[in-house]
Amino acid sequence: MTVLKDIPEKWFPVVLSLQRQKKKGLDGVQSKKRRTEEERRVRANDREYNEKFQYASNCIMTSKYNIVTFLPINLFEQFQEVANTYFLFLLILQLIPQISSLSWFTTIVPLALVLSITAVKDATDDYFRHKSDNQVNNRQSQVLICGSLQNEKWMNVRVGDIIKLENNQFVAADLLLLSSSEPHGLCYIETAELDGETNMKVRQSVSVTSELGDPNNLASFNGEVVCEPPNNKLDRFCGTLYWRDKKYSLTNQNMLLRGCVLRNTEACFGLVIFAGPDTKLMQNSGRTKFKRTSIDRLMNTLVLWIFGFLVCMGVILSVGNAVWEREVGSLFQSYLPWDPPVDNFLFSAFLSFWSYVIILNTVVPISLYVSVEVIRLGHSYFINWDQQMFCSQCNTAAEARTTTLNEELGQVEYVFSDKTGTLTQNIMSFNKCSINGQTYGEVTDPLGPQPKRLDFTPFNPLADPDFCFYDDTLLESVKVGDSHTHEFFRLLSLCHTVMSEEKSEGELVYKAQSPDEGALVTAARNFGFVFRSRTPGTITTTEMGRTVIYTLLAILDFNNIRKRMSVIVRNPEGKIRLYCKGADTVLLERLHPCNQELMNFTSDHLNEYAADGLRTLALAYRDLSEDEWEVWSESHRCADSATNCREELLSAVYEQIEQEMMLLGATAIEDKLQEGVPETIAVLSLANIKIWVLTGDKQETAVNIGYSCKMLTDDMTEVFIISGHTVQSVRQELRRARERMIELSRTTDGGKEGWREACFMSNGFRESQEGVGTGGGGGGGGGGKQLQCPPPSNLMDNVPGEFGLVINGHSLAHALEADMEMEFVSTVCTCKAVICCRVTPLQKAQVVELIKKHKKAVTLAIGDGANDVSMIKSAHIGVGISGQEGIQAVLASDYSFSQFRFLQRLLLVHGRWSYLRMCRFLCYFFYKNFAFTMVHFWFGFFCGFSAQTVYDQYFITLYNIVYTSLPVLAMGIFDQDVPDLRSLEYPKLYEPGQLNLLFNKREFFICIAQGIYTSVVLFFIPYATLTDATQSTGEPLADYQTFAVTTATALVIVVSVQIALDTGFWTVFNLVFVLGSLGSFFSIMFALHSQTLFRIFPNQFHFIGHAQSTLLQPVVWLTIALATAICIVPVLAFRFLKLDLKPQLSDTVRYTQLVRQKKRKPVGRSIGGTQRSMGSVSEGRLGARGSSRRSGYAFAHQEGFGELITSGKNMRLSSLALATFASRHSSSWIDTLRRKKHTPPSASGECSPAPSYVSGSVPPLSHSSSVLGGSQDTPIEEETGPTQKTQTASSTQSSSISAAAAASETVSPQGPAHTPNPGVLPPTAVKSHGADSPGGWMLTLGTVQEALFGWKGLTARAAASNSPAPPSVAKETRQIE
């Protein structure tokens, strides 16, 4: 595909009604009129007539603000945040002197900072939207006005205008093609922006307007079009052209849709039918959605709870104030009267309530939200800077286009992926074939030397030098003149709709509607049957060096129902022959009975090709007599000229002639996957992520790709096809699928092989649609009521086995209806893999919305074309692939990169780390602020509830900004529990994010409970200690300022020690920030109590030298040490016990990593070679599936060029560049994937590691099945001694561990002597040198425990006494000792 240098058409989602109101100022009545539009009437060259209907203009507006509306709208949006409104309310309270104990600047400064930063960010984003809108709207288009062509901006184009398009220009609006510079009103377009297809499409004008090529003639054209109203159906258009008292039907073949690019056509003219937001592309763009993470939503809830808690504390303290003022305060009225506004104790309590609301507001400081944005920004930069997500081929780095969704990358459960260009390279290659029962293209000895690539140049000077084939037996068969082989390639050179352009002698360039057809014609070209050119009535070929011209009598074109195409030609000898190619499911049943034996051989070959995930076609021919041709030709002419039911009549005529054919053979084409796709899908599946493919491609193609990328496997229990055409049939198929799942789950333990073999029926799937036609009549009875009720969700959730489901677009349309949603969801969510075929862009978005609605799971959508924009916008997270289909998906996405395989690192490394860091940050932040704030609450009981603060206002202001901000920021940005390679090795580490275990309401309450406990200790320990304490001079220490300094110092030290314990990954920044925060606290405190500031501001700083004198007292430091110990020791003890008795996966991974780091011995390990020898398994194709058969027939999505070729129209096309990419991995893969999360994480005793590789260095996965498949429930024992006797590996093992990464682990075939502790992870069997160290100073609880308390001895002793410690770890420790 040719990509323009300038930025192509950009389609941001648009709220259509808002746009129309902005542009045209429509009132409510007009909007209602527009919404109820039943038909559209457009008159050419008559703006006055068309403006009566108030059709939308061609202006696209995606921006939210302008100069006037920015400030009010942006502030309104920001104050919709609960926290911002909360702080604004506090600011108003602080402006009231009677109730404010703190200065107003303590709130207004951080609030203004937050609002300003957010406003600048929003303004910047909207500026770029304005800039992009202007670029699109200001593009120039030639509009026919008053008989002459005038340059107009796109935004000024109106419905009814006639515009001129030139080659390589984007189509400005949805146009009715009137005429073209090509013969017969033809033009060629590229629709990658619409449906993701990079192949060419042809469009043709109505014959009556095709001659209006001159602007003068078009200026007099006044035809009127009556058509359907705006809709989102890309493949359908229904309308009528009225001109000169005649009417002409209009179809989608007459339309040029906005977003297409005119190719290989000098110029064309079109009539604007739909403009701007009414175009089909914009109708499919979806609506703008503001994306928020689940943590954001939880934080809003928690802020409301905290505010309620704050109110409760204020009520308690205000009641206390009322009681104290009544019982005690009244006694002091003579010399301590109330302030003038206060005249009784109740009013004093009322003011005290608001004063305490102000004082205690720091439980949710506004710095929390500033810190969250800073942390997210840091995470985004880490994604942008990740060199392992950089594609050197296209010089493209990963890009985080948003900063608000990083932590949600660690919680994804469903991935919705496009196919073409996302999973595949959309490049086809001729791989294998079967001719007359003989198969070609097989690699005879996978373990022997690889065959050399054939050189076709000496044999055929017209051969394509880029064509790759390795089996020389096929070339020899051609050379010796085998008649079957010659007829096979003759069919491939004739039966197609490919266009040929010969730029110079022998330099042929083929233009095909589908890459499949191009690959087949190229294969015929290299084997001596070269397609040279075509006219409407002839096909010219070069056969074995001899030019042959065939008379083209008819083309029986392809469609999705026929699944085949045929041509009828007359050779130079006058013999008439029909050549047919198509899906084997429809072609084999139309063969002559004498082909039975050959059909059996060919069917076996087809099964083998399908098992390899190749796209297959069957080929056949039939000889026709002159009489047969004449009779059929007359029938064809009648059907072709029919005005009603033309398609049905033509199909019936085609059916008559495509009978009694003779089988020639079959072809197998490989659609190359992108690098690392199977491995990425498998590892994500192990991480409990379900992957769905939503594609506009046909069913067979999508299914074959599903097998190629290992989404669908032969070991799946069953794969269902849902292809009903009515609501009732779809309901029945879904119901039968669920019943079959339950039935098979009951027989899983017994007779497994028997029912598995039986379940693979025709085409490798259970044909769910059997009996639909016969069952339809009874659907309205009692059975109909049963169909309305899907089985209980818990029953379907617990169904064992691995199922796949394939559903077509027309069936999906019924399944998405309101009364069918639950039926559909309960069925598909039980399946391991789901493929939705032939879906529209809007249906992709609807599927995503359905899962979001019913499963409450985090969804991610990934695609590379404009047809994926609505899906990307609908999902919680949108990822754009910067591939061959433009940058529309990238512009609409939240994250972008160039290869699907990078998704693995984005989720399992960056996503998991971001979630972990954000959760740890929030837990610590709430803890430190409750510890800080609740001291005021306890102090209220000792100060007469007078709203007096414990700390001075400078400490209150600087606590969250200076003293404690940087350490928690460092932890939130840099922290990690395990290195990135371990995150990829153990995908199960991803599960806590999916289950939302690290930060939820329970964890929040634990944090605030710890904070309240700390506040109690920090208040009462200094209070009790200093009450009777004295200085060395004998003077008492019990004064307010001494208590404040002691409490503040203890608080800062305690929270600093706490964050040191919470930090799992130490960097220079963490160390500097923790020590720097302590140093800044003491420096600022001494400065605030210095004589210098007192001399400058005598009214602000009253306590000269008090900090120095207080901290010189030993009793103060003993008090601080005691308070710190009482706060930290219980936490430390709890964590040690939890680590020892109930370790999490990350704890065990980290521990085994430390053990191997310390005990690794630089001795060559023979076991690695043993495992490598065991892993020498053929990397050939998957095993044949018995009678399974799948066909991926090589045709485009829509009907071909057949009718246009035979109608006497020149089908000239110019060149398209066909790129070649690296071949896909065709290795065998794991037998089964892990079950869904309905089993709790702790139910599985162990977690086997995933393949140890990172993006950019991907080993063949067939060598890693030992660690991915068979060892799922077997503990792995680490043997560190070089002379230690190794155990025999299990039969499922097929490992290939590189010499640099070989570790001394084997799989124990017997398993442990007793049940291992839940959640314990055995040491990994995959080892990479240099991967253990995370790249910095890593100080964890495991390190402290091992260094200080002798972890090894404790573990060994615990294991000896039946402790629940991990048996594998215990044994390993004993071996080490």
Active site positions, annotated? 418
Structure tokens at 637: 């002419």
Q: Position 405: which residue type?
A: L
CB 1252 within 8 A of CB 980: no
Structure tokens at 903: 């998704």
Identify the helix (H) or strand (E) that includes residue 484. helix 483-494
Alpha-carbon distance of 1370 to 1374, in angstroms, equals: 6
Taking CA atoms, 590 is separated from 110, 583, 596, 1194, in Å, by: 78, 11, 11, 19
Which of 1376, 1339, 1329 has the alpha carbon at shortest distance from 1356?
1376
CB 413 within 8 A of CB 994: yes
Identify the helix (H) or strand (E) that includes residue 1276. strand 1276-1278
CB 731 within 8 A of CB 902: no
Backbone CA torsion sign across 954, 959, 961, 967: positive
Alpha-carbon distance of 143 to 1087, in angstroms, equals: 75
Identify the helix (H) or strand (E) that includes residue 541. strand 538-543
Residue 1035 dihedral angles phi and psi, to the nearest 5°: -75, 145
Alpha-carbon distance of 1083 to 1077, in angstroms, equals: 10
* DSSP 8-state symbol, 906: I
Alpha-carbon distance of 933 to 945, in angstroms, equals: 15
Alpha-carbon distance of 1304 to 1372, in angstroms, equals: 12
Q: Which residue has the tokens 């990822």?
A: 879
Residue 391 dihedral angles phi and psi, to the nearest 5°: -100, 115
Hey, which residues does 428 pair with through a beta bridge?
671
Strand 576-582 to strand 564-570: parallel, antiparallel, or no bridges (unpaired)? antiparallel
Residue 291 dihedral angles phi and psi, to the nearest 5°: -90, 130
3-state secondary structure of 805: strand
3-state secondary structure of 714: coil
Q: What is the DSSP string of 841-903?
A: HHHHHHHHHHHHHHH--EEEEEESSGGGHHHHHHSSEEEEE-SSS-SHHHHH-SEEES-TTHH
Q: How many residues does the chain have?
A: 1377
Alpha-carbon distance of 1362 to 861, in angstroms, equals: 48
Torsion of CA 268, 274, 280, 281, to 10 degrees: 70
Alpha-carbon distance of 234 to 248, in angstroms, equals: 21
Alpha-carbon distance of 176 to 275, in angstroms, equals: 12
Residue 719 dihedral angles phi and psi, to the nearest 5°: -120, 125
Alpha-carbon distance of 1155 to 1163, in angstroms, equals: 16
Structure tokens at 1110: 């207080």
Q: What is the DSSP string of 1327-1361?
A: --TT-SS-SSB---HHHHHHHHH-HHHHHHHHHHT
Burial of 179 (0-12, 13-18, 19+ CB in 10 A): buried
Taking CA atoms, 473 is separated from 451, 469, 608, in Å, by: 12, 11, 19
Strand order in the sheet with 412-417: 399-400, 895-897, 877-881, 858-863, 412-417, 690-694, 833-837, 803-808, 718-722, 766-767
